[in-house]
Structure 1
């Protein structure tokens, strides 16, 4: 028995040593070049007009292959030292933070959210798993600047809900039973941030994203805003450099492991990357998992990004923010942007990157 255990530990050690991991800095691999790279740059870094803000406006593009930087370029005001607003990538970051809490035994997916956030007394059947699938059943309207008057998210972030975003969300009525329908909701994400406060307690909570996730991964420049109640704005307001966000991507690409430490439990990863069963084709730009987006067919619809492998998944944010992970290609891609007109296409960028990195 002990010989078998020793062999297993030796294999784990060998695997960790054979992989490339970032220390304080990312290792630099062989840079990609050639016509396919030029085509990628022509797409991602077209001349930008800061007056009209039209077209594709990439601020940062970083490509990691097998743990090494093989492409990196910045534009606009961004540099490799700039903590960029991630918008809704923050939601996937909160999912990763919650994954650590889950591994510490602080909650179960089928726990009622009410157990950790009493303000949900009107909605006792909502579970933490429902919130992670954006399936709370709350009647939430995720409309932005194109429909501000009826927008729940605009009211939450900027007007009557901004002092206590979770409480504002909890006041919404239900339109469906929890777990029965998908409706993308920044409110669901901020309810999760409020439940985390009870899970870990008020003493640990202000530093928990750092002690649980950022510090173990060597992320040194993260900023995460809170609302006036002291709750992290999990929907929107985390800021990371492109290189720091790529560390989260590498963690996800390697099954929640960082060097020889299992930061995220494997069953948490399985839940995060499992498509929500009640999702209907074309409801959103990709298939929802547990606060991540998946490149999988849904109903009679094909994969949302047909030129990328089916194991591709992503964290996505407003105005073109994206963290793509392609485990089969050993790729992590970070794209920060200031897109305003909807002309950017995830599939097109992924296609260009894959053509640039493949022999």
Structure 2
């Protein structure tokens, strides 16, 4: 005889099972959905795949776009040497990938956000007040200069990646003094990300660390193209040096679009995804001009903040993204059930996230307004 008080629970579980069965998830490859067309798609392509003078490197140059809607591949376009099977350098999209790998470790109970970084990376013992949450918010307080090729002599990141810091990038970052109270100031820092990568090594142990991005994240998602470089010390360069095909990076986007769930498995805890998508409380946005995304937990958010314009005004408030140098982007738009991967080689700063997203919404979600 059925137990009466279990009937509502059984009904709820049955509804959840039906929902899981109704959802589309990629297997070895993505299932294709109806391909959009018409003037809106042509307008999108005119912007995203404009003709560019590669000799001068002026203008927008998109290498790949993949669009996933509700778990189905509805659009992909490649240019130049990039193809569907090409693992593309993601640059700082790597930071958000690292956050997802850390999310699995968090779900396994390997650390807490308020733990001291030095607990897992003893070389950071000189900064005992810096917590893992501070690094995830790019708020370590380290005197770091995130300048790139246009100011190489004063750039901490250029020195870390290419010169005196490249043999042991986390140790190089750890050697910087503090010039702010940890957790009180946002300053974007590839050094913070590589310190997180070194801390992950201490969380999971040397043997597990060697394969951990694969066993924790890539393999459960069916990602087979991933390459992630280490420095000479064997630490994954969490700031910069992961490579994936556009189709495979979209799997991470779908994971995030669906709240950290992959099929029936909650791969990333819901509270971890909520942390990723919550603005850093101490962030002070510039009042003008718009365009700079809001930092969350190693992801970038389109969240409106008081006293500042929304970063991407033509995209929904719940849009968030992993962003990288020269135009790499993984956009997640939960309310539209959209995931968009863009690989690129933008050099002159003319590309605009908002312009791209506005045209993408018109082409791929025309019936839904932000």
TM bucket normalised to smaller: over 0.9
Q: Where does structure 2 lack aligned partners over 5 or more consecutive residues?
A: none
**Superposed displacement of residue 70, structure 1:** 1.1
Task: Tell me the CA shift for residue 4 of structure 1.
Answer: 3.7
Secondary structure at the aligned position of 2:100 is classed as helix
Map of 2:196 onto structure 1: 192
**How far off is 1:71 after superposition?**
1.0
The 2-side partners of 1:255 and 1:67 are apart by: 13
Matched, 1:324 2:331: yes
Aligned match of 1:278 in 275, 282, 305? 282
Q: In the aligned structure 2, how far is the partner of 1:17 from the partner of 1:179?
A: 43
Aligned to 1:149: 153
Q: Which runs of 4+ in 1 moved over 2 A?
A: 1-9
Give the match for residue 139 of structure 1.
143
Take 2:13 and 2:234, find their aligned partners in 1: how far apart are those partners? Answer: 42
Q: If the length of structure 2 is used for normalisation, what is the TM-score?
A: 0.95
Q: Is the 8 A contact 1:169 1:187 kept in 2?
A: yes
Distance 1:132 1:56, change over 3 A: same
Structure 1 residues 1-359: aligned runs within 5 Å:
1-282=5-286, 285-357=292-364, 358-359=366-367
2: CA distance, partners of 1:303 / 1:192: 29
Whether contact under 8 Å (1:165, 1:187) holds in the other structure is yes
Shift of 1:14: 0.8
1:7-33 Cα distance to aligned partner (Å, 9 max, x none): 333222111111111110101111010
Matched position secondary structure for 1:334: strand
Deviation string 1:143-193 (CA, Å, 9 cap, x unpaired) is 000100000000000000000000000000101111000000000000000
Deviation at 1:75, TM superposition (A): 0.3
Q: Verify the 8 A CA contact 1:224 1:233 in the aligned structure 2.
A: yes
Q: Alignment partner of 1:204: what SS?
A: helix
CA RMSD across the alignment: 1.1
Q: Which deviates further from its counterpart, 141-150 or 41-50?
A: 41-50
Determine the C-alpha separation between the residues in 2 that align with 1:146 and 1:290: 27
State the secondary structure of the residue aligned to 1:203.
Answer: helix
Following TM superposition, by how much is the alpha carbon of 1:3 offset from its aligned partner in structure 2, in angstroms?
A: 3.5
Shift of 1:5: 3.6
Per-residue Cα deviation, 1:64-95 (whole angstroms, up to 9, x for no partner)? 11111111100011000000000000000000
Q: Give the Å deviation of 1:53.
A: 1.3
**Alignment length (residue pairs):** 359
- Within 2, Cα distance between the matches of 1:216 and 1:4? 32
Partner of 1:144, secondary structure, is: coil
Alpha-carbon distance in 2 for matches of 1:97, 1:205: 11
- Residue 51 of structure 1: CA displacement? 1.3
Q: Distance in 1 between matches of 2:316 and 2:273?
A: 18
